[in-house]
Structure 1
Amino acid sequence: MPITAINVRNQFRGKVLEVIQGPVVSEVDIETAGGQVVTSVITTRSVQELGLVPGKDVIALVKSTDVSIATL
């Protein structure tokens, strides 16, 4: 079921692969059903409040105002 109460159209179901906690911010790696990995940097407090641990089912909500591109 998509989350419709917020204005985020890009939603990816997945499982938490890894959580690297820092004192203020943490990195959360999420593997989508298609095998892609999405990494989020969120506050460590949010990680704890959401109970994010490896194996937990989650939805990655992606909203961006710009995309940067570099040449190879």
Structure 2
Amino acid sequence: MQLSARNQLAGTVRSVQVGAVMAEVVVDIGGNDIVAAITAGSVASLGLAEGEKVVVVVKATEVMIGRE
């Protein structure tokens, strides 16, 4: 898979919760979780399930940074 996006994080699917239209996919990235909201159709077409190796691609303009 080749993408122009630079923010790519390899990980493992920890859980998938599919609703009527949307799904929540939790991906373990080196002990940290990233949660993605994607369509239920995308879960089906990608064959996502717990334990699958995936790559999370983050759109840089949608990332927030917080500080205490």
| Percent identity of paired positions between Structure 1 and Structure 2 | 38
1:6-53 CA deviation, whole Å, 9 max, x = no partner?
Answer: 221111111000001011110000001x21100000000000000000
Structure 1 or 2, whichever has the larger Rg, is 1
**1:35 aligned to 28, 31, 35, which one?**
31
Q: Aligned pair in 2 of structure 1 residues 66, 49: CA closer, same or farther (>3 Å)? A: closer
Q: Which runs of 5+ in 1 are unaligned?
A: none
Query: Which residue identity is paired with 1:8?
Result: A
Question: Which residues of 2 match residues 45-56 of structure 1 at below 5 A?
Answer: 45-56=41-52
TM-score, normalized by length of structure 1? Answer: 0.81
TM-score, normalized by length of structure 2? Answer: 0.85
1:52 partner SS: coil
The structure richer in helix per residue is 2
Aligned residues, how many? 68
Q: Aligned pair in 2 of structure 1 residues 38, 22: CA closer, same or farther (>3 Å)? A: same
